[in-house]
Copies of this chain bind each other. A is one copy, B any other.
Amino acid sequence: MSQSALFERHKETLEKGISASRTREYWTAYPESPSPRVYGETASKDGEAAFKALLNKNFDFDMPGKIGTVGSEKSPYGFDLGITYPKVDVKVLVSEVEALRQEWATTSIETRTGICLEILDRINKRSFEMGFAVMHTTGQAFMMAFQAGGPHAQDRGLEAVVYAYEDMARTPAVARWEKPQGKRDPIVMEKNFTVVPRGIGLVIGCSTFPTWNSYPGMFASLVTGNAVIVKPHPGGILPLAITVEICRDVLKEEGFNPNLVTLAVDGPDALLAKDLALAPEVKLIDFTGSTGFGNWLEDNARQALVYTEKAGVNCVIIDSTDNFRGMIGNLSFTLSLYSGQMCTTPQNIFIPEGGIETDDGHKSFDEVVAALATGVEKLNSDDERACAILGAIQSEATLERIAKYGKGDNVVLASRSVPMAGFDGATIQTPLILKATDESSYSAELFGPISYVVPSKNTADSLSIVENSVKTNGAISFGVYSTSEDILDQAEAAACRSGVAVSFNLTGPVYVNQTAAFSDFHATGCNPAANAALSDTAYVSNRYRVVQSRRHI
Report B-chain residues with C-beta under 8 Å of the C-beta of A508.
Answer: 187, 552
| Residue A191 lies at the interface, judged by CB distance under 8 Å to chain B | yes
A469 to chain B, nearest CB (A): 16
| Residue A404 lies at the interface, judged by CB distance under 8 Å to chain B | no
Q: Which residue of chain B lies nearest to A527 when distances are taken between CB atoms in the complex?
A: B545
| Residue A547 lies at the interface, judged by CB distance under 8 Å to chain B | yes
| Residue A509 lies at the interface, judged by CB distance under 8 Å to chain B | yes
Q: Which residue of chain B lies nearest to A495 when distances are taken between CB atoms in the complex?
A: B547
Taking a contact as CB atoms under 8 Å apart, the answer to whether B520 and A179 are in contact is no
CA distance A24 to B171 in the complex (A): 8
Query: Within the complex, which residue of B193, B198, B510, B526 is in contact with A552, where a contact is CB–CB below 8 Å?
Result: B510
Report B-chain residues with C-beta under 8 Å of the C-beta of A180.
Answer: 26
Taking a contact as CB atoms under 8 Å apart, the answer to whether B24 and A172 are in contact is yes
| Residue A405 lies at the interface, judged by CB distance under 8 Å to chain B | no
Taking a contact as CB atoms under 8 Å apart, the answer to whether A502 and B549 are in contact is yes
Taking a contact as CB atoms under 8 Å apart, the answer to whether B551 and A26 are in contact is no
Taking a contact as CB atoms under 8 Å apart, the answer to whether B537 and A505 are in contact is no
| Residue A472 lies at the interface, judged by CB distance under 8 Å to chain B | no
Taking a contact as CB atoms under 8 Å apart, the answer to whether B546 and A196 are in contact is no
Taking a contact as CB atoms under 8 Å apart, the answer to whether A504 and B549 are in contact is yes
Taking a contact as CB atoms under 8 Å apart, the answer to whether B520 and A550 are in contact is yes
Taking a contact as CB atoms under 8 Å apart, the answer to whether A538 and B542 are in contact is yes
A346 to chain B, nearest CB (A): 15
CA distance A552 to B322 in the complex (A): 13
Taking a contact as CB atoms under 8 Å apart, the answer to whether A193 and B24 are in contact is yes
Query: Within the complex, which residue of B105, B178, B550 is in contact with A503, where a contact is CB–CB below 8 Å?
Result: B550
Q: Which of A196, A298, A503, A550 has the most B CB atoms < 10 Å from its CB?
A: A550
| Residue A536 lies at the interface, judged by CB distance under 8 Å to chain B | yes
Taking a contact as CB atoms under 8 Å apart, the answer to whether B177 and A516 are in contact is yes
CA distance A22 to B194 in the complex (A): 14
| Residue A462 lies at the interface, judged by CB distance under 8 Å to chain B | no
| Residue A437 lies at the interface, judged by CB distance under 8 Å to chain B | no
A294 to chain B, nearest CB (A): 13
Q: Which residue of chain B lies nearest to A550 when distances are taken between CB atoms in the complex?
A: B503
Q: 8 Å CB contacts to B: which residues of A143-195?
A: 167, 170-172, 175-180, 187, 189, 191-194
| Residue A13 lies at the interface, judged by CB distance under 8 Å to chain B | no
Contact mask A115-140 → B, CB, 8 Å, 1/0?
Answer: 00000000000000000000000000
Report B-chain residues with C-beta under 8 Å of the C-beta of A504.
Answer: 549-551
Taking a contact as CB atoms under 8 Å apart, the answer to whether B196 and A499 are in contact is yes
CA distance A526 to B509 in the complex (A): 46
A162 to chain B, nearest CB (A): 12
| Residue A235 lies at the interface, judged by CB distance under 8 Å to chain B | no
| Residue A257 lies at the interface, judged by CB distance under 8 Å to chain B | no
Q: Which residue of chain B lies nearest to A193 when distances are taken between CB atoms in the complex?
A: B24
Report B-chain residues with C-beta under 8 Å of the C-beta of A105.
Answer: 496
A107 to chain B, nearest CB (A): 12
CA distance A507 to B488 in the complex (A): 64
| Residue A501 lies at the interface, judged by CB distance under 8 Å to chain B | yes
Q: 8 Å CB contacts to B: which residues of A370-395?
A: none
Q: Which residue of chain B lies nearest to A192 when distances are taken between CB atoms in the complex?
A: B492
Contact mask A27-52 → B, CB, 8 Å, 1/0?
Answer: 00000000000000000000000000
Query: Within the complex, which residue of B500, B503, B551 is in contact with A551, where a contact is CB–CB below 8 Å?
Result: B503
Taking a contact as CB atoms under 8 Å apart, the answer to whether B551 and A505 are in contact is yes
Taking a contact as CB atoms under 8 Å apart, the answer to whether A536 and B541 are in contact is yes
| Residue A95 lies at the interface, judged by CB distance under 8 Å to chain B | no
| Residue A362 lies at the interface, judged by CB distance under 8 Å to chain B | no
CA distance A546 to B522 in the complex (A): 10
Query: Within the complex, which residue of B298, B492, B519, B549 is in contact with A492, where a contact is CB–CB below 8 Å?
Result: B549
| Residue A23 lies at the interface, judged by CB distance under 8 Å to chain B | yes
Report B-chain residues with C-beta under 8 Å of the C-beta of A496.
Answer: 105-106, 194, 196, 547
A521-B548 contact, Cβ under 8 Å, with A526-B196, A537-B541: yes
Taking a contact as CB atoms under 8 Å apart, the answer to whether B545 and A497 are in contact is no
* 5 A-B contacts (beta carbon < 8 Å): A24-B193, A25-B178, A26-B180, A508-B552, A536-B541
In order of increasing CB-CB distance, the 9 nearest A-B pairs are A24-B175, A504-B551, A538-B541, A538-B542, A537-B541, A526-B545, A502-B549, A26-B179, A496-B547
Besides A24-B172, A520-B550, 17 other CB < 8 A contacts?
A24-B191, A25-B178, A102-B497, A177-B516, A187-B510, A189-B510, A191-B519, A298-B302, A499-B547, A501-B548, A503-B549, A504-B550, A504-B551, A510-B550, A520-B548, A525-B545, A536-B546
